[in-house]
Structure 1
Amino acid sequence: MTFSIILSTVFILEFITLVTAYTLQDDVNYYLSKKMEDTMKQYYKNPAAQNTIDNLQQNLKCCGYDGPDQLMKIVAYKSVILIEVYPSSCFECENSKCQAQLFTQGCHQTLADIVNDNTVSLITGVTIIIFVQVVSIMLACTLERMIHKHKMDRNMRMCQKRTTRQNIYVPFDKTNPTTTFHAVHI
């Protein structure tokens, strides 16, 4: 019974998460946009932000927030003079040799596409897990009932045997009915 209660609790929490993820699906894009923009603004100030953006740009083959021009605006904030230099992560690089072709697509749209494309897969996966848990809950309850029934049947048989043994008296002395003994069954 405890196992069923635990599984039911996990099921309810997963269902709430599934509904929340589905209803906040549009808000994910806003939060993603806000965090990415904040991180981009810290590109030259924070080494951790720079490393994160470089990895993102290299792995997704993108440059800047909305493209290389957005990155140029951020570079312009760094100094008074606009520097025409893009980070090496905005180029296709192999073995520390970068090619001259600049990634033209912005990272925000690329990342948003990945999140939106995988949302359906995520919801499907969670739905399958929830289904398996519901089946597990039903099987656990069935098993618990079977164990309880087996114990009840065993107790009932033991009680019947005791009653049967108590009711079978063979007189020891046929002349004296008070001297009796229990019959022994082998």
Structure 2
Amino acid sequence: MASSLVELNALLDSFVPLSKKVSMAEIEVREKEADALEKILARVWMVMPFLHDCHIINRRKLVPTGDNSGFAISNRLAFFDDGPHLFRSFVVEQWGTDSPAFEINDNRGISCNEAIQTYGFDVICAGLAEMLKCQCNVDVEYSNLQTRIKNIDSLLQVLEYRAELEPLLGKRITPEGERLLAEGKP
């Protein structure tokens, strides 16, 4: 029995420092992930400054308690555009025809470290990637805006040309003249 007690003490002596090392390593990993997340958010904010209240994580669970009643629990992590920061929203709702409805909201800003503790670094990065993928229509919007700019430039050119010609001719341009102007013919 004495040898097993000595062995147990030796194992505990080696285990305690190891658990402290693991704890310290977990803290270091979370701090480095939080630093990386802050830099990622700053980059997202600079690349996509028009984003507002974009949900990175949006979890919702419905729990029916009867035919026409139940609870809903929502947990969201959102990115806001008035600076690269995160906002957590936790909502519990009850609905039903048999009992009065209620809703409890807990909304607040959340640090990157707290977000990583709550949701996990990989989940947040995946949510940011999905959020950015949803913004792919920006290319289409840019193309549409470029087309509109080209069209309005053409219209302005015709209007300026017309404004120059009317005083010289001393009269209004006829519809046939407008058609010729639109085609670029004087």
Shorter-chain TM-score bucket reads under 0.3
TM-score relative to the length of structure 1: 0.27
Q: Which has the larger radius of gyration?
A: 1
TM-score, normalised relative to structure 2: 0.27
Higher helix share: 1
Q: Which has the higher contact order (CA 8 A, sep 6+)?
A: 1
